Amino acid sequence: MDKHINLGKLGEDIAVQYLKKKGYKIIERNYRKKWGELDAIVLSPNKTLVFVEVKTVSGPMPQIRGEDQVTASKLKKLRRVAEIYANGEGESLIKNGWRIDLITITTEKESARVRHYKNI
């Protein structure tokens, strides 16, 4: 596995642990369809179905921030996959609507900084 894939998996693992500590219930990870992927599907403490995109960067001064990696086309793909899930398999889980969140992870040596942006 290359360094990029390892970093992405590490970031997703950190994000899932962060969400669990905040009271979110993990429904599914790495939900894939031919037109896109959702890093995590979770249920928030108030029962909102949340589709989570995780972006991970490393180093004290990363070339590009995780926040800058979510382009308009990426967001459009996320929305499409989220809508398909919400109107299909996830329909029974929706008690309080759904949203897309972004979690960015910046790793440096043994530490990680987590930022959580709700309803992007």
pLDDT at residue 52, rounded to an integer: 98
pLDDT at residue 3, rounded to an integer: 63
pLDDT at residue 75, rounded to an integer: 93
In which domain, by residue range, is 85 found?
A: 3-117
Where would I find the H helices in 22-92?
Answer: 72-86
Checking if the pLDDT of 1 tops 60, the result is no
- Domain count within the chain: 1
Tokens in use for 89? 């398999």
58-85 burial string, b = 16+ CB within 10 Å, else e? eeeeeeeebeeebeeeeeebbeebbebb
Residue predicted with more confidence, 110 or 20: 20
Domain of 10, CATH number, reads 3.40.1350.10
Q: How confident is the model at residue 92 (pLDDT cuts 50, 70, 90)?
A: confident
Tell me the torsion sign for CA atoms 8, 12, 13, 15.
positive
